């Protein structure tokens, strides 16, 4: 059957059919051609899979726009070239490599290891699947120059990818990110990829990294005596078929928790994620089996980690006795609230400590930091920027913790990415602390709101697919810049922050510069509107999906725990007014 493709797509198809690609790959392409599957052929070949600032991500399959041996190989060869050029004459360059439970993850990890070794680089390869944060830890522990974790985080099963890290253990940032992309783009032929591995340069790692990593997590505990008293805290945990199973139960055990129940249906690593539509702990459906078990066992706490175990979702019984899942803003705030109090009680706050979070994460954290005279640094969205702040302040200021609204948290600086293993340990500890004081985790949440104000956040995500969708998203941002709202939900807009122009404009129209190069800040297509009554709206096109995201934050005082439900209803109604006002639905 004949297929009609546009010339550039056809050129890529021909290149793959004529080049030094393996027989199975060519056969798969011919099957698509014979079936007349123009749509799949086009999607597979209409462009080269983009190596972005964080690394690579795409659908598995044959073609230049798919995750496969050749696209992964080209990206890795470009990275090797950059690393070797950055450390000229250094004969002990090394990298660490980990992978998650997804389809093709072990194979890609081995492929990447072979290419690094063929380029004269020493490789530390985890012997089996491991969480992303442990890869960050391994880079620092082993003194590596770079590292890769093969993962597509919580994307659907058909995806895979990899994230690139630098020697500080954080994901690559400027100038390395753009420089690596430039090197990757120079790989125009698979003949320049060194596929033949050098086995003596590849060293398997496991327990020699697992043990010190668990010890460092254990050292995060601020109230070990409370954990001893509440050792039988009833915990339900699910790894949702991912890497969390390797270390979350072990970390909880190391802290002394003895009553941990694993959701057995989701305990086995499986890249098809057979029990969920999406392996994302931000979605209630992904945690339903854990919630069912928690109700059956009358648990105190339920936790779930995503496939590469850098994000964690958690829930506890509310004041009505029902399990309520806490969102990323609430959990980040609770962790920081608990740690600020613990550091203050221990006399450890000297004025040189800091918290780091992203600009779209709740301002409740800023308010709490102000009360404790602790600096709160706000970065662009992405944990790599939080890692950058930690690196820049190393030896000058002390990092306590950090977080972002999308369920990622970090305690201590021995890892430089969001860490669901350490976060599960800390969430269990603060639940034990609450229980030791006759409270639930939810009681602690309400107490925090009473002390600091009830902040409520909601995310509106609008999907706009294809070329027309991308144009629509750009037009929405352009319209907001040309005609910014003067009022939102009845409250005057008193400040506008434009991170693309790097300007801050007040109610009188006076603009000052947001300094580029300030920690975690560079030009980015983000707009924020602040109103007189404390409402904040952030608009940001997604960097990885065909979406534009609006983060809405509102606040009210909470007079008492008894007033929680009424205040919560008021805040939800207020968010709805904001959504209606800005026509975001």
Residues identified as active-site: 153
The per-residue DSSP string of 363-384 comes to: THHHHHHHHTT-EEEEE-SSHH
To the nearest 10°, report the CA torsion of 274, 210, 303, 163: -60
For 316, the token pair is 């506890």
For 4, the token pair is 């009609």
196 by Cβ neighbours in 10 Å (0-12 / 13-18 / 19+) ranks as exposed
Q: Which residues contact 512 (CB under 8 A, 6 or more apart)?
A: 503, 504
Q: Which residues contact 399 (CB under 8 A, 6 or more apart)?
A: 353, 354, 355, 356, 390, 393, 412, 413
Q: How far is CA 411 from CA 133, 217, 421, in A?
A: 12, 9, 10
Residue 541: strand pairing partners: 548
28 by Cβ neighbours in 10 Å (0-12 / 13-18 / 19+) ranks as middle
Q: What share of the chain is helix, strand, coil (3-state, %, to 5)?
A: 40, 20, 35
For 313, the token pair is 């979702």
Q: What is the DSSP letter of 102?
A: S
Q: Where are the alpha helices (DSSP H) in 56-165?
A: 69-86, 105-118, 132-142
Rounded to an integer, what distance in angstroms lies between the CA atom of residue 553 and that of residue 60?
Answer: 37
- Cα atoms found within 13 Å of the Cα of residue 509, Cβ hemisphere only: 2
Q: Do the Cβ atoms of 336 and 403 come closer than 8 Å?
A: yes
First to last CA, the chain: 44
Token pair 């990415």 in the structure block, residue: 417
410-220-137 Cα angle (round to 5): 55
Give the 3-state secondary structure of residue 566.
Answer: helix
Q: Do the Cβ atoms of 65 and 72 come closer than 8 Å?
A: no
Rounded to an integer, what distance in angstroms lies between the CA atom of residue 177 and that of residue 111?
Answer: 22
Q: Do the Cβ atoms of 459 and 549 come closer than 8 Å?
A: yes
Rounded to an integer, what distance in angstroms lies between the CA atom of residue 582 and that of residue 419?
Answer: 35
Q: Do the Cβ atoms of 71 and 56 come closer than 8 Å?
A: yes
């Amino acid at each position: 059957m004949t297929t009609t493709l546009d010339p550039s797509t056809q050129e890529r198809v021909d290149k793959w059919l004529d080049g030094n690609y393996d027989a199975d790959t060519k056969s798969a392409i011919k099957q698509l051609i014979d079936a007349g599957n123009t749509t799949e052929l086009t999607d597979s070949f209409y462009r080269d899979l983009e190596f972005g600032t964080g690394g690579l991500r795409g659908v598995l399959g044959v073609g230049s726009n798919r995750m496969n041996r050749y696209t992964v190989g080209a990206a890795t060869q470009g990275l090797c070239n950059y690393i070797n050029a950055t450390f000229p004459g250094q004969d002990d360059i090394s990298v660490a490599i980990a992978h998650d439970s997804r389809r093709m993850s072990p194979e890609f990890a081995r492929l990447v290891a072979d290419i690094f070794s063929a380029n004269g680089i020493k490789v530390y390869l985890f012997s089996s699947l491991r969480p992303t944060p442990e890869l960050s830890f391994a880079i620092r522990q082993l003194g590596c120059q770079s590292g890769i974790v093969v993962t597509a985080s919580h994307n659907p099963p058909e995806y895979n990818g990899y994230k690139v890290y630098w020697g500080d253990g954080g994901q690559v940032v400027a100038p390395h990110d753009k420089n690596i992309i430039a090197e990757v783009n120079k790989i125009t032929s698979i003949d320049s990829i060194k596929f033949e591995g050098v086995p003596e340069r590849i060293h398997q790692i496991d327990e020699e990294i697992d043990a010190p990593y668990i010890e460092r997590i254990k050292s995060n505990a601020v109230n070990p005596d409370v954990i001893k008293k509440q050792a039988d805290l009833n915990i339900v945990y699910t790894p949702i078929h991912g890497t969390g199973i390797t270390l979350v139960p072990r970390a909880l055990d190391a802290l002394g928790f003895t009553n941990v129940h694993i959701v057995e249906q989701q305990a086995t690593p499986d890249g098809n994620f057979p029990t969920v539509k999406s392996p994302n702990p931000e979605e209630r459906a992904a945690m339903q089996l854990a919630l069912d078990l928690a109700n059956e066992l009358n648990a105190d706490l339920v936790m779930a980690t995503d496939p590469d175990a850098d994000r964690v979702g958690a829930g506890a019984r509310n004041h009505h006795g029902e399990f309520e899942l806490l969102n990323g803003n609430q959990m980040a705030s609770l962790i920081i609230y608990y740690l600020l109090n613990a550091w203050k009680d221990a006399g450890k706050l000297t004025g040189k400590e800091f918290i780091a979070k992203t600009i779209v994460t709740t301002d409740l954290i800023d308010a709490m930091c102000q009360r404790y005279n602790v600096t709160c640094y706000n970065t662009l969205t992405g944990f790599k920027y939080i890692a950058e702040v930690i690196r820049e302040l190393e030896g000058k200021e002390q990092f306590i913790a950090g977080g972002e609204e999308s369920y990622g948290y970090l305690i201590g600086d021995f890892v430089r990415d969001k860490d669901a293993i350490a976060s599960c340990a800390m969430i269990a500890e603060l639940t034990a602390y609450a229980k030791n004081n006759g409270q639930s985790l939810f009681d602690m949440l309400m107490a925090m709101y009473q002390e600091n104000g009830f902040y409520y956040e909601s995310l509106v995500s609008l999907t706009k697919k294809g070329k027309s969708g991308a144009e629509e998203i750009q037009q929405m941002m352009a319209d907001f810049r040309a005609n910014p709202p003067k009022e939102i939900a009845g409250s005057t807009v008193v400040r506008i922050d434009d991170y693309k122009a790097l300007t801050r404009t007040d109610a009188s129209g006076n603009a000052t510069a947001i300094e580029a190069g300030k920690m975690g800040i560079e030009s980015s297509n983000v707009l924020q509107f602040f109103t007189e009554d404390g409402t904040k709206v952030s608009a940001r096109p997604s960097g990885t999906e065909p979406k534009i995201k609006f983060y809405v934050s509102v606040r009210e005082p909470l007079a008492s725990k008894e007033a929680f439900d009424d205040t919560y209803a008021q805040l939800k109604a207020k968010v709805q007014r904001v959504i209606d006002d800005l026509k975001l639905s």
